[in-house]
Structure 1
């Protein structure tokens, strides 16, 4: 029997790609995209969405500060599902296989409270989790230890019986410091191998 009672997925760059530069490169070209990101520091602003701010509200606040980038700023909200995509198919298959096997599956994700449902509409597999720990709803963000403590208290599962995968070293380190089992996600095959090793999936299920 597996020593894991729940598997916890990050979402960005684990189940769906989060590389918004790719969208802007296609739409406005790499040179203007670089200028846009340099001028506005959008990744830093987006952290406020992950912390609970409104995405449309943030864009509305930024437009007067960067009026020359109004079109590009509006795209961050209006084209959300073009920025946060595509799905990572093997990872999705692993999530679905865990569910079929009756494994409890959560998500712990840095994601805005109003754009997470938009992504769920585009990618229905994001509705499969038994519990959703979304930073924008909780107003807590990885790698803050408080968000991991919240998960523990909410689900009632001992830390050493949680298996968490994330693509960021700092997020993994915070979970490991609390005693969680962790897997640094660098690609779906490594994650598949870990799930098989834990006895959660067969090799056939993990393909």
Structure 2
């Protein structure tokens, strides 16, 4: 019987929409596309996830690759992405219903050290995370999904029995990582109702 539910964050609980985040600050189409590719360069975000680069270092790299006229707005887009994370329809209600039915709730996310410090400054995120029994972010640990170590870490930290634990993520690679240590995986496709039916079947 599943008693513990571990959720990924981006594209499971919230939309991490890079186009939306950039357009709020850079209106010109060509500038927006150019800036978006730089601001959300996967190399930077992977380094943020594993804690090997800081926000300030990323902003310096962004400025080194963009025209000076875009520096201010590009850095605003980068600094404020945390405020531009709309919830995926139906997911907050599902989290609340799992909790009301006695389930234990956790978040396991590949995300930066700075996010782990800043999310409490965002009222909607602070309220969301208050529903959870535990949070594990990769940046402060220096280990990321789908490594065995991060799944073993969350099991150990919160004394979870793996056979009683379910992990929900939009990445098949991360699901495979969870299943490799005996956690039941669910590959989320954006459909909260389908996940609800799966959990409460």
Counterpart CA distance in 2 for 1:47 and 1:194 is 31
**Counterpart position of 1:201:** none
- Determine which of 187, 193, 199 is the counterpart of 1:195: 199
**Counterpart position of 1:202:** none
Q: Is the counterpart of residue 142 in structure 1 residue 141 in structure 2?
A: no
Report the Cα offset of residue 39 of structure 1.
Answer: 4.8
1:101-148 superposed Cα distances (whole Å, 9 cap, x missing partner): 221111111122222443343321122211111111221111122111
Give the number of equivalent residue pairs: 194
Contact 1:15 1:91 in 2 (8 A): yes
**Counterpart position of 1:118:** 118
Measured at CA, do residues 119 and 20 of structure 1 come closer, stay the same or move farther in structure 2, by a change above 3 Å?
farther
**Counterpart position of 1:4:** 2
**Counterpart position of 2:98:** 98
Measured at CA, do residues 128 and 58 of structure 1 come closer, stay the same or move farther in structure 2, by a change above 3 Å?
farther
Give 3-state SS (helix, strand or coil) of 1:132's partner: strand
Counterpart CA distance in 1 for 2:186 and 2:144 is 19
Q: Is the counterpart of residue 49 in structure 1 residue 67 in structure 2?
A: no
Superposition CA RMSD, Å: 2.2
Deviates most, 53-62 or 156-165? 53-62
**Counterpart position of 2:65:** 66
Counterpart CA distance in 2 for 1:88 and 1:11 is 10
Measured at CA, do residues 72 and 176 of structure 1 come closer, stay the same or move farther in structure 2, by a change above 3 Å?
farther
Contact 1:5 1:162 in 2 (8 A): yes
Give 3-state SS (helix, strand or coil) of 1:27's partner: coil
Runs (5+) with no aligned partner, structure 2: none
Deviates most, 131-140 or 56-65? 56-65
**Counterpart position of 2:17:** 19
Contact 2:112 2:140 in 1 (8 A): yes
**Counterpart position of 2:133:** 130
Give 3-state SS (helix, strand or coil) of 2:106's partner: strand
